[in-house]
Structure 1
Amino acid sequence: MIRKRLVLLAVFIAFISNGCSIEDDDANFHFTTLEIVGAELPESFDYNKTYEILVNYIKPDSCTNYEGFDVVKDSLTVRNVVAIGSVRTDIDCTVQSIEQTASFNFKVIYTDPYTFKFYTGDNSEGEAEYLEVVVPVNKS
Structure 2
Amino acid sequence: MKKVFLILALLGLITSCSLDDDRVQINYELQPVVDYELPDTLVWGQRYNFKIRYVSPTSCNYFYDFDYARQDSTRLIYVFEGVYEEEMCTDTPTDTVSVYLPFETRYNYDYIFKFYAGEDENGEDLFITDTIPVKG
**TM-score, structure 2 normalization:** 0.79
Match of 2:91 in 1: 95
Runs ≥4 residues deviating over 2 A: none
Q: Which runs of 5+ in 2 are unaligned?
A: 1-20
Q: Which of the pair has more CA radius of gyration?
A: 2
Counterparts of 1:31-110 in structure 2, within 5 Å, are 31-73=28-70, 75-97=71-93, 98-110=95-107
More strand by percentage? 1
User: Residue 37 of structure 1 aligns to which amino acid in structure 2?
Assistant: V
CA offsets 1:23-64 (integer angstroms, 9 cap, x no match): x8x761211101210110000001111111110011011111
Which sections of structure 1, spanning at least 5 residues, go unmatched?
Answer: 1-23
**Aligned partners of 2:24 and 2:84 also within 8 Å:** no
> How high is the TM-score relative to the length of structure 1?
0.77
Give the C-alpha shift of residue 129 in structure 1: 0.3
The alignment of Structure 1 onto Structure 2 pairs a total of residues equal to 114
- RMSD after superposition: 1.4
